[in-house]
Homo-oligomer: A and B are copies of this chain.
């Protein structure tokens, strides 16, 4: 195993004051566009709505890992994550998500996965 070669980059993304999507079709289109902007292959998109005003939760499962989305309309909050294995750039996906949801405030935490095997 090459310890210097990471399986990939994982972004945890918090959006506040974003456009809250209400339709599952809209979210699926957005997640597919985000994945495809990075050249990732979508295996499937699975989404669940919690009814009027109740938010949406789900994930795009990728050959290169996943992009998830969970909305809390009542808190004006959306949590997303982008995990892409290999050397793929996550920035195009983040841009698509920002452009699609127009958050007023953004917090991104970035972790490289598959490093530090000796930090147990």
A interface residues with partner B (beta carbon < 8 Å): 1, 7-8, 10, 12, 14, 16, 43-44, 46, 48, 50, 57-59, 61-63, 65-66, 68, 70, 72, 75-77, 79, 81, 83, 85, 105-107, 109, 111, 113-120
Q: How many subunits of this chain does the assembly comprise? A: 2
Contact A57 B68 (CB under 8 A): no
Q: How far is the CB of A15 from chain B (nearest CB, A)?
A: 10
What are 13 residue pairs bridging A and B, where the CB atoms are less than 8 Å apart in the complex? A7-B72, A43-B57, A44-B46, A44-B48, A46-B59, A57-B61, A57-B63, A68-B83, A72-B85, A79-B114, A105-B117, A106-B120, A107-B115
Contact B106 A83 (CB under 8 A): no
- Alpha-carbon separation in the docked complex, A7 to B71 (Å): 10
- Alpha-carbon separation in the docked complex, A77 to B79 (Å): 26
Contact A77 B118 (CB under 8 A): no
Contact A113 B61 (CB under 8 A): no
